[in-house]
Amino acid sequence: MADDRNIVIVTGIPGVGKTTVINEAVEEVKQNHNESVLVLNFGTEIFQIASKKGLIEDRDHLRKMPTAKQREVQRMAGEAIAEKAKKAKVIIDTHTLIQTNNGFLIGLPEWVVRAIQPKTLVLVEADPERIAERRSSDETRTRDAQLVEDIDTHQRMCRAAATTVGTLTGATVRIIKNREGKVEEAGKELAATIME
């Protein structure tokens, strides 16, 4: 049977520019290949489930909930995402590791990635100093301030988590650098992965 995977998971630490790069790539695919891409945001899905259950009012409070609750809503969202992702070309905008009050929570547990069977796991990276700046100047979100050193550690941990997804599913792991002021370049690379 042909291995016709159509899902790309896009990960990277908060404020690295995942959503911005995805928007650029979707536009690129539409313009140059006349194809549309369904973008699913794991965080949005989780937030909708958590707010329906009355657990939370602000999306940026999700990572402060007791981790057992976070796992519960994550499971429900994972099931919803795997179901929706059965359609055409799909990008999933998410995190491999969530910084909680009790250490890193695995954003993509094995049963989620096994259900999704991604073609590629993309890791969007940037210089830790630039990430710190992007977080502090982003007025649309309540972002945690973090030491550059901790941002660097989080980013390194994400590489380890990304290769785990590759091991479990056979997905390729592609690092895309989101350089300052060069979103277009990063978007083109992501578009190439979607169309591969």
The burial of 11, by beta-carbon neighbours within 10 Å (0-12 exposed, 13-18 middle, 19 or more buried), is given as buried
Tokens 């999933």 sit at which residue?
92
* Range in contact with Mg ion (rule: CB under 5 A) among 11-19, 80-88, 107-115, 152-160: 11-19
Residue 150 CA to residue 128 CA, distance in Å, equals 9
* 15 is a contact residue toward ligand ATP (CB under 6 A): yes
| C-beta of 33 vs 141, nearer to Mg ion | 141
* Range in contact with ligand ATP (rule: CB under 6 A) among 18-26, 45-53, 62-70, 110-118: 18-26
* Range in contact with ligand ATP (rule: CB under 6 A) among 32-40, 50-58, 105-113, 174-182: 174-182
* 128 is a contact residue toward ligand ATP (CB under 6 A): no
Could you say which of ligand ATP, Mg ion, none residue 20 binds, taking C-beta under 5 to 8 angstroms by partner kind? ligand ATP
- Residue type at 19? T
* 78 is a contact residue toward ligand ATP (CB under 6 A): no
| C-beta of 5 vs 59, nearer to ligand ATP | 59
* 20 is a contact residue toward Mg ion (CB under 5 A): no
What lies within 8 Å, CB to CB, of 187 at 6+ separation is 21, 23, 24, 25, 27, 28
Q: Which residues of 177-189 are buried (b: 16+ CB within 10 A; e: fewer)?
A: ebeeeebeebbbb
- Residue type at 120? T
| C-beta of 5 vs 27, nearer to ligand ATP | 27
* Range in contact with Mg ion (rule: CB under 5 A) among 14-22, 74-82, 98-106, 111-119: 14-22
Shortest CA distance to 60 belongs to which of 79, 71, 76, 46? Answer: 46
